[in-house]
Structures are given as C-alpha cells and as structure tokens.
Amino acid sequence: MAPKAPSPAPAPPYRRVTHDLAIFLLALGAGLPAVAVSMILIWGGDYTPKVQWTLSLVILGSWLGLSFSVRERVVTPLQTLSNLLAALREGDYSIRARGANIDEPLGQVMLEANVLGETLHDQRLGALEAANLLRTVMAEIEVAVFAFNEVEELKLVNRAGERLLAQPAERLLGRRATELDLAECLTGAGERTFQKTFPGMTGRWGMRRGSFREEGRPHTIVVLSDLSHALREEERQAWRRLIRVIGHELNNSLAPIKSMSGTLAHLLDRGSELEEWRDDMKRGLQVIGDRSEALSRFMSAYARLARLPPPTFQIVDVDALVRRVVALQTNYPVTIENGPAVRIRADADQLEQLLINLLRNAVDASQEKNGRIRVRWSLTDGLLKLLLEDEGPGLPQTANLFVPFFTTKAGGSGIGLVLGRQIAEAHGGTLDLENRDDSPGCRAKLTLPAGRQ
C-alpha cells in the first residue's frame, strides 16, 4: 500500500491591518513624496556631508514624529471613548469624557457619550428607587404573593406568604407548588374565592392569578388575600344597620302605643262614666291598631328581602316578557321600541316582578309632568341591556336608592329597588338607575347575560 501523502500545512492566518497602524501608514504615505523629493535635492546638491546628514535627520525625524502624532490624535480619543463605553457597560456611570467640544465632530461624539452616561445614571437611579419601593410594598402588604416559573417552582414570596405557609423564604424558594399545597391556585379560574386551611392560617381567601416574563421565561404570579376579616366587618356593619333600622321602626311604633296605653289606663283609674271616655278609648285603640299594622308591614317587608328564593332558570323570550309586563299597566301609556329577538335563561316570575316595580316607579314619576315612558333593549357582546326611561322630575339623589326602606314616595315601602337589584344579581346581572342626559327624567338599566341558553 502506498504511503499516505502528508496533509498540506495550514496557511498562516491573515492578519488584518489595525486601525491605528492604518492611520500611521497613511500619515507616512502622505509625507513620503515630500520626504523623497527633499532627500533627492539634499543628496544630489552641492552640500557638505554634515549638512546632508543633519537635514536628512531633521526631515526624517519630523516625518516620523508627525506621523506618530497623527496616529495618537486619532487613536487616543477612540481609546477614551472605548473606556467610557466599557464603564457604561459595567454599570459605572461616573466617568465622563473631558474636552468635549460641540464645534467639532469628535467633540460631538464625546458629548453624546456623556449625555448617554447621565441618562443611564438617571434611569438606573429611578429603577433602583422603583425596585426598592416595590420590595418595600411587597414586604409590607398583607396579601400573600407567590411567583412560580414554568415548571411550577416557587421563585418569589413576600412576608405575608411566609406567614401563610409558616416557613421562611429560604426554605420555600425552589420548591414545587404541589409541595406547598398551592397547585390548585395555578389551575382553574384566574379569579375566585375558596375556603382553605394553610399551615399558618385558616380562612376564606380571594385568589387572583396573572402571568409575566422574566429573562424571556414565562412565570405565574398568585395573590392570596384573606377575606375573613373583611367579611366579618361587613357582617358587623350589616347587623348594625339592621338593628338601627329595626330599632328606629320599633321606637316609632312603640312610642305612640305606650303613650296611648298610659292615657287609657289613666282614664280607667279616673273611673269616669263610659260615655265620657268612649271616644278617647276608640281613638287610642285606633292608634294602637294602626301602629301594630304598620309594624307588621315593616317586618313582612324585611322577611321578603330575606326569603328571596334562588331563580329557577328557564328559556325566556325578552320581547314577550316586556309586552306581558307593559300590558299590566293599563292606566298610563308605555311605548315599546322593538329590539332584537333575544331568548335568555332566567326566572320569568322574578324578572316580571323586577320590571313591574321599575315600571310602577316610572309611572309615578311621569304622572307629575305627564311625560312619556319608553322601554327598549339591545344585545351587545353577549349582554342584554334593557332600558326603561321616563320623563319625570329625575332623581334628587342617587346615593340611597338601594338602601333598604329608603323611599321618596309617600307610603312607599323602600324595598322595591333593593329587591330588584337582588333579583338582577341573582341572575348574574346588574341594575342601575341614573338621571337622563338627553332630557329630564330617569333611566333604569337592567343588564343580564344573554349567552346562557
């Protein structure tokens, strides 16, 4: 077998002429013709050797010195700019280029580098302050914050989260959500409430979940807030309001009953003739009966609010429902504007009661000015919006409209709107009242989900 031929030696790498060397060679090349002519004239002329060598050394020295000077004039500012940019890259924004003159191109470059350093310094300072503020807020807020990476490993937790899990952050970071009993927070609806017992606390929790990216990798943030204290405070406030309203009504009824009872007892103690105090007895008993009846109506109204049954959903045609309710109103004209054909899942009886209350309020308001009443509806983004507009005097105030037993009508019970809002919310919708902006009067807006069929 023939011997294998040796592989050729690799070619030497090509060395590119550097920028400073190119500047130096260009400076030499620029002076070379003049130096060559000078040398010819000096050495070809009738000069003594001393003069020839002296002039030659002066010319060659000046040529080389000026060439090196040109190189340094170009290279030194570039090195300064390079050092400045390197400092900016390393995060040192205190270095500035000196001698920056805006009247020359190189000075403009230096000036822009200085401005860039100042801008980065200000931005870094602002970022540090914002980061410190965020860390302080994260540490002090009472809601627990957890951040997980794409493999559900915990990457961030605040102090509230440490208290909730009864462990320091050093022992929590890097652990999986399943180990921390937080896996259910990473699935399902992104916003919900639930009852759960954690190592550090038990209660009802409100959960919100979001996402963000760090270094291009997806992360999930989970925020848990304890709703127990808020719910208990709301419960206490509700009891206070309930006791205040009931106490007020009881006092209003019991005070005249007590007064009439004392008057009748006094008449009996006097031993007057029956004919003399018969009328007083009748009036006293009438007052007692009236106040007892009013108190009974008040308690019945409260019972209606407390015993509202959950809606029984069925398919309801909106057009037929509206026309059925309007047909019940025979003593005042009501205009129906035809809307889209919409069928929703709802409790027809409860919606009828809601619309009857709204229509009765509109009639009472419109009769004062003989105004018109209009009912219309539309379908937008899967929501049914039903509007009932009147041309009455409008609402003098809207803050207390949905406060139980608040009414502006003589003889009103003050529960119609409260009951209507409960019905709307039980259907997953809302009920709002506002003054019209296109004319005098009030607008009632009922919004219901129309996608459930």
The CATH number covering residue 205 comes to 3.30.450.20
Does 129 fall in a domain?
Answer: no
Average pLDDT for 81-95: 80
- In a shared domain, residues 319 and 435: yes
Does 134 fall in a domain?
Answer: no
Does 255 fall in a domain?
Answer: yes
Count of domains for the chain? 4
- In a shared domain, residues 221 and 235: no
Write down the pLDDT at residue 92: 79
- In a shared domain, residues 298 and 343: no
Does 329 fall in a domain?
Answer: yes
Q: Spell out the SS3 assignment of the chain.
A: CCCCCCCCCCCCCCCCCCHHHHHHHHHHHHHHHHHHHHHHHHHHCCCCHHHHHHHHHHHHHHHHHHHHHHHHHHHHHHHHHHHHHHHHHCCCCCCCCCCCCCCCHHHHHHHHHHHHHHHHHHHHHHHHHHHHHHHHHHHHCCCEEEEECCCCEEEEECHHHHHHHCCCHHHHCCCECCCCCCHHHHCCCCEEEEEEECCCCEEEEEEEEEEEEECCEEEEEEEEEECHHHHHHHHHHHHHHHHHHHHHHHHHHHHHHHHHHHHHHHHHHHCCCHHHHHHHHHHHHHHHHHHHHHHHHHHHHHHHHHCCCCCCCEEEEHHHHHHHHHHHCCCCCCEECCCCCCEEEECHHHHHHHHHHHHHHHHHHHCCCCCCEEEEEEEECCEEEEEEEECCCCCCCCCCCCCCCCCCCCCCCCCHHHHHHHHHHHCCCEEEEEECCCCCCEEEEEEEECCCC
Does 406 fall in a domain?
Answer: yes
- In a shared domain, residues 332 and 438: yes
Average pLDDT for 242-246: 62
Does 5 fall in a domain?
Answer: no
- In a shared domain, residues 213 and 273: no
Does 336 fall in a domain?
Answer: yes
- In a shared domain, residues 442 and 369: yes
- pLDDT, tens digit, for every residue of 325-383? 888 777 788 899 988 999 999 988 888 888 888 888 888 888 877 888 999 999 988 88
- In a shared domain, residues 347 and 409: yes
Domain CATH number, residue 283? 1.10.287
- 258, 283, 306 - which closes a domain: 306
- 276, 306, 336 - which closes a domain: 306
Average pLDDT for 394-415: 52
As a whole number, the mean pLDDT across the chain is 78
- In a shared domain, residues 241 and 183: no
Under the banding of pLDDT at 50, 70 and 90, the label for residue 192 is: confident
Among 98-112, 360-374, 410-424, 437-451, which is the least confidently predicted range?
A: 410-424
- In a shared domain, residues 321 and 425: yes
Instruction: Print the domain residue range for 211.
Output: 141-226
Which is higher by pLDDT, 212 or 7? 212
- In a shared domain, residues 264 and 300: yes
Under the banding of pLDDT at 50, 70 and 90, the label for residue 78 is: confident
Write down the pLDDT at residue 412: 43
Domain CATH number, residue 366? 3.30.565.10
- In a shared domain, residues 162 and 266: no
Under the banding of pLDDT at 50, 70 and 90, the label for residue 44 is: confident
- What is the model's pTM? 0.41
- 253, 286, 306 - which closes a domain: 306
Under the banding of pLDDT at 50, 70 and 90, the label for residue 257 is: low
- pLDDT, tens digit, for every residue of 138-176? 777 788 889 899 888 998 888 888 888 888 888 888 899
- In a shared domain, residues 372 and 396: yes
Does 194 fall in a domain?
Answer: yes
Write down the pLDDT at residue 413: 43
Which is higher by pLDDT, 407 or 430? 430
Percent of the chain with pLDDT over 70: 74
